[in-house]
Amino acid sequence: MFTLQHLALPITEFNCPLDMYVRCDSRNLGNFLISKECFTIGEGEVATFDTYYNLFSISKWRKISNIRDLFFTLKGNGEAIVQINWSDNYGQSKVVQSIPVSLYGNEYTVHLPEFNTQEVGYLYITIVAKTEFKLFRESRFETPDEIRNKVKLAIVITHFNRADHVIPTVKKLLNFIDNYGLKENVCIFIIDNSNNLDCNISSTNLVVIENPNFGGAGGFARGLVEIKHRDFTHCLYMDDDGSCHSESIYRVLSIFQHSQIQDLALVGTLLAEEKPNIILQSGAKYQYRGWKNINFGENISSRLGIFRSERAFEKPDYGAWPFYAFKISSIKYFPFPFFVRGDDVFFGLQNQLTTIWWHGIAVLVGDLVARESPGTLYHDERAMLVINLMRNTPFLKIIKQYSKLYFSELFSYKYASARAMHMAFRDVLNGPKFFSDNMDCANVRAILKPLNYEERLIDVNLEPKFAKPVKKKTKIMYALTCKGLFLPNFMLKKGAIYQEKGLAANTIQTFNYAKIFYYCQTNNKCQILERDLLKFVNGFVTFLIDACHFIIAGKLIRKKYQNTKVGSESFWLKKFNME
């Protein structure tokens, strides 16, 4: 038998709500106990596994593999009734088998013919405990069908001055390799961009490689260079904090082993660290205006959220690199040297892999809103401009995307962010040679530092004013004054108007205030930004100059990017002195 997926149970180092693993009566939580080895269900209690981590997708497995037979093996201790349930894609369920079991640390295997009789839907189990029942982590869905593909997985992690994150991650991954018996199948590559990692861990499954600080793009490109000519078949790009359930990595292996899709790529769903039951994205689509997150905001601790997210029809264009796995031989294009931001987007768009997400494959990421700054906006805008030029996006659309975001920053009093966007525009117009000459972005980061300081988050003891429902006369004034641009200072309201920290303000709420109070819920800090008409005018003139420059030089710049060798395998080999 070959295990397709284990029954995932909560683990202490991956903090997700219990109902992402199992549903039980919240009034009797004291009758349910979690330990390292098992999940204990009190006598008379019911545990149902129709959850994000424990649904078994019939339709996905039938689509990507030629598996013909399926079994479920339960390892437990105690007496219980085990129910096999089938659900359609909308969450309507029925019990298809009900089996009494008496186990004493041994296993019981049941055949699941529904895998063949149903083309869509999900299977999951329910356990009704007749006595106290211990459910062991070895319980699993499995098949007698032979593995289709030999898989040897390289986990590539880029590190820069975060030893306190990466060392626990390495230890966790090595424990996973040992516990699952995967020493011959998985190896960890740490690309040390800071050249100062001393993890003092001796293992044949760990390789640490010192690398120039070329950012995330350079770290992951180095990892790909290192593994491409060894005996690895697949690669998993992963964050240095490795905030995922070990079962997520096992499922990557299992899916690749049985997949009949040769260019398959798996994207880990990004979950909010602060609210791990909320999806940030299950991969994303790219449009000339930027990226659109798939399944954003879905609550996957609820049945409704799970099934709704699984019905999402959009195919991801790419997967974010906190967790992205692919077959090495299907990669034709290496990462473009963006340093950070946009490298994963362009990598996915260029290689055009069959990218899918899979429930139970997820990773926790920190608050993205708190990280936003003029510096991150610079890298985002730079990437979008290059991608749009390379993809033959019409010039009018490129200017439209840039101008809409640029002026939203100006009208939001984020003048430093607008200047960062201007920097991005200017640097892109210098052509691909700019990226080759600024691999470490040291000069760029030095220029961005004071801009980031202008819009830094601070502690302020201030009571902001909160927006009231917008009246008709306010809308008229908003339109007549061009979003408040022509309002004289004496007509502006005193104090600061409250806004949630984000890319831009809701300007119909803020246009007649002298100050905006941006609040970040994650860390309880804020920005207070003031209206400055002179900075707005300077920003407007700068935009006109940039637009004229782009109109004149756009065709030549596009041709340079489309014909460049920057970002190719030979380019990276030269940068790494590995020719």
Could you give the CA distance from residue 376 to residue 368 in angstroms, rounded to a whole number? 10
Asked whether the beta carbons of 91 and 308 are under 8 A apart, the reply is no
pLDDT at 388: 96
pLDDT at 490: 86
Could you give the CA distance from residue 454 to residue 469 in angstroms, rounded to a whole number? 31
Q: Which residues contact 431 (CB under 8 A, 6 or more apart)?
A: 557, 560, 561, 564
Would the CA dihedral through 319, 324, 329, 333 be positive or negative? positive
pLDDT at 37: 84
Intra-chain end-to-end CA distance of the chain, in Å: 45
pLDDT at 92: 92
Beta strands in 211-260 (DSSP E): 234-238
Could you give the CA distance from residue 186 to residue 308 in angstroms, rounded to a whole number? 33
Bridge partners of 471, per DSSP, are none
Q: Please name which of 242, 239, 215, 502 lies closest in space to residue 368, comparing C-alpha atoms.
A: 502
pLDDT, tens only, 465-524: 888 888 888 899 899 999 888 888 888 998 899 999 988 999 999 999 999 999 988 888
Would the CA dihedral through 106, 111, 115, 121 be positive or negative? negative
Q: Please name which of 250, 241, 240 lies closest in space to residue 360, comparing C-alpha atoms.
A: 250
Could you give the CA distance from residue 71 to residue 462 in angstroms, rounded to a whole number? 61
Asked whether the beta carbons of 34 and 10 are under 8 A apart, the reply is yes
Q: Which residues of the chain have pLDDT under 70?
A: 26-30, 242
What phi, psi does 386 have (nearest 5°)? -65, -45
pLDDT at 147: 94
Could you give the CA distance from residue 325 to residue 155 in angstroms, rounded to a whole number? 9
Burial of 38 (0-12, 13-18, 19+ CB in 10 A): buried
The four Cα atoms 314, 315, 320, 325 give a dihedral, to 10 degrees, of: 150
pLDDT at 242: 66
Percent helix, percent strand, percent coil in the chain, to nearest 5? 35, 30, 35
pLDDT at 26: 67
Asked whether the beta carbons of 28 and 55 are under 8 A apart, the reply is no
HEC secondary structure over 98-142: EEEEEEEEEEEEEECCHHHHCCCCEEEEEEEECCCEEEECCCEEE
Left, alpha or beta for 341 (phi > 0: left; psi -120 to 50: alpha)?
left
